[in-house]
Amino acid sequence: MIQNALRLSSFTLILTALFFSSCQKQKEKTVVEAPKERISIAEIEEGIKTYIAQVSAENEGIFPVKDENHDLKMKLVRVHTEYLSNLGPDSHFACVDLVDESGEVFDVDFFMEGKPGEMKVTQTTVHKLNGKPFYSWKQKKDKTWYRVPMEQTDNSLLGVIEGKDSFEFYYTVTVPPLTEKAKLWIPLAESDPFQTVEVLEISTPVEAKKLNDPVNKNTILYLELSPGQSGKDIKIAYSVNRKEKGPYEAPAPDPEVDLASNILMPKGGRFEEIAKEALGPKINESHLIQARALYDYIIDNMRYMKFGDFGRGDSNYACDSKTGNCSEFHSFFISLARSVGIPARFAIGASIPSDRNEGGIDGYHCWAEFYADGKWWPVDISEANKYTALATYYFGRHPANRIELTRGRDLEVSPSPASGPINFLAYPYLEIAGKEVKAPTRFTFQRKS
């Protein structure tokens, strides 16, 4: 199926000297094979991409993949040249990530036969769906490989609940000791196409007002406190039904928001330089392919570490230290993406533990989305960094076990803090005498039966 231009280069070619002795005790002769042609990883990648492009051009921009269980219409995400392998004499394969029209990401194995320079694709087989394998590989004694069936893996121990989840989520803030008046802003979760949120209770020591964030479509609870409320609890209880989030169609991005700089999440300058360097030749590819390259760049170059000035979602800090928590990972990604024209946005909430049904939650969690091919694509790069087995899953998926509290950065409401827009809002923002003060906050949950 593929032209002679498709070559394989990850296998070492050895010049072998063959020695023959005649029956007549003639002088020994040495016959040396002609050197076999060496080709590069870049050539095999370009060959597969060319093949996919040619087939897609013949099928109205769609690459069809059919095997015994699938009939799919796909687009290229990336080529796994690192997984080129030898299945036997003159038999090889390479892996490619392709996305279906539904937004499902499939890992497809390209099986090839022939010698370097004469390779032809003989079969394409769907290996994984959203990072979960349908089969695995085992090696024989002769060092060749064969395929074995594999049951669907369970990602729950890695924090993922697929499909749907239902739980009650409890948000509790304790007012610290006050000696003067204070102002408090608290996020208020709302329903969207992926989560149905019912507010079961809002308990506040003083009357609360709901504020509207018109740019990011957030609702924020606002309270004016006095010393008499010191030590009092503010409680919000939610009933949440949530479903797993994949790529979805939505209104086109607003360039004034989704391609703009934020205070701690700027674009351009060194972020543009880093993004272009990370992309290399992929700068001419689709936004989907570019976003995957930036996603991989951050996974490869950052470490999840709660040390130093982390937790503010400061892209410059992430760029300098190459460390941080989820806020640094996703802020850095958004700065890089926006710098090369990929719309992207930030959201924050909490992950609900998958391995138990009640108890505390270890703080907030944040994530991102980018826009490509007419859809918004969810990504969770910090989780992919911690659990590399789920790197494919988290490119295009957010699990069902989470709640989104707010979206966006530099949130503007009225009344607003004296310091200006709110960086992002998961924990409450408490202001005393024009300065931010931390308010003790607890997240707990109870999963529904």
Helix axes 270-279, 326-339, angle to 10 degrees: 80
Matching residue, tokens 């928590």? 325
**pLDDT tens column, 325-353:** 999 999 999 999 999 999 999 999 999 99
> 146: how many CB neighbours lie within 10 A of its CB?
10
Least confident of 66-70, 194-198, 307-311, 326-330: 66-70
Matching residue, tokens 């960086």? 423
Among 113, 115, 49, residue whose Cα is nearest residue 81: 49
Q: Copy the structure tokens of residue 154.
A: 């369970």
Q: Copy the structure tokens of residue 18.
A: 């063959």
- In whole angstroms, give the CA distance from residue 134 to residue 138: 14
Domains recognised in the chain with CATH numbers? 17-153 (no CATH), 247-418 (3.10.620.30)
pLDDT of residue 120 exceeding 50, the answer is yes
Q: Which amino acid is at 269?
A: G
Q: Copy the structure tokens of residue 221.
A: 């609870």
- Of residues 409 and 143, more confidence is placed in 409
- In whole angstroms, give the CA distance from residue 351 to residue 374: 27
DSSP 8-state symbol, 327? H
The pLDDT of 280-291, averaged and rounded, is 96
pLDDT of residue 437 exceeding 60, the answer is yes
Check residue 268 and give its pLDDT. 97
Check residue 265 and give its pLDDT. 98
pTM: 0.77
Matching residue, tokens 């906050």? 441
pLDDT of residue 424 exceeding 80, the answer is yes
**% helix, strand, coil for the chain, step of 5:** 20, 40, 40
The pLDDT of 346-362, averaged and rounded, is 93
Check residue 6 and give its pLDDT. 35
- Of residues 246 and 127, more confidence is placed in 246
Q: Copy the structure tokens of residue 21.
A: 């002795």
Work out the angle at residue 201's Cα, subtended by the Cα atoms of residues 195 and 206, and round it to the nearest 5 degrees: 125
Check residue 377 and give its pLDDT. 97
Check residue 50 and give its pLDDT. 76
pLDDT more than 90, % of the chain: 60
Q: Which amino acid is at 341?
A: G
> 377: how many CB neighbours lie within 10 A of its CB?
27
What Cα–Cα distance (Å) separates residue 266 from each residue in 183, 330, 335, 346?
28, 12, 6, 13
Please list, in sequence order, all residues whose beta carbon lies within 8 angstroms of the beta carbon of residue 284, skipping any fewer than 6 positions away. none
What Cα–Cα distance (Å) separates residue 208 from each residue in 221, 225, 277, 426?
6, 10, 49, 18
> 62: how many CB neighbours lie within 10 A of its CB?
16
DSSP 8-state symbol, 115? S
- Of residues 249 and 100, more confidence is placed in 249
Work out whether strand 323-324 and strand 303-304 pair parallel, antiparallel, or are unpaired. parallel
Are 89 and 304 spatial neighbours (Cβ–Cβ below 8 Å)? no
Check residue 247 and give its pLDDT. 96
Reported residue count of the chain is: 449
SS3 call for 76: strand
- What are the φ/ψ torsions at residue 224 (nearest 5 degrees)? -110, 120
Q: What is the CA radius of gyration of the chain?
A: 27
**pLDDT tens column, 130-143:** 666 776 666 666 65
Please list, in sequence order, all residues whose beta carbon lies within 8 angstroms of the beta carbon of residue 158, skipping any fewer than 6 positions away. 387, 389, 390
Are 349 and 195 spatial neighbours (Cβ–Cβ below 8 Å)? no
Report CA 258 to chain centroid distance, whole Å.
17
- Of residues 252 and 366, more confidence is placed in 366
**pLDDT tens column, 7-22:** 333 333 322 333 333 3
Model confidence at 110, in pLDDT bands (50, 70, 90)? confident
Element (DSSP H or E) covering residue 315? helix 315-321
Are 368 and 330 spatial neighbours (Cβ–Cβ below 8 Å)? yes
Model confidence at 174, in pLDDT bands (50, 70, 90)? very high
- In whole angstroms, give the CA distance from residue 271 to residue 265: 10
- Of residues 116 and 416, more confidence is placed in 416
Average pLDDT, the chain: 85
- Of residues 409 and 35, more confidence is placed in 409
- What are the φ/ψ torsions at residue 166 (nearest 5 degrees)? -135, 135
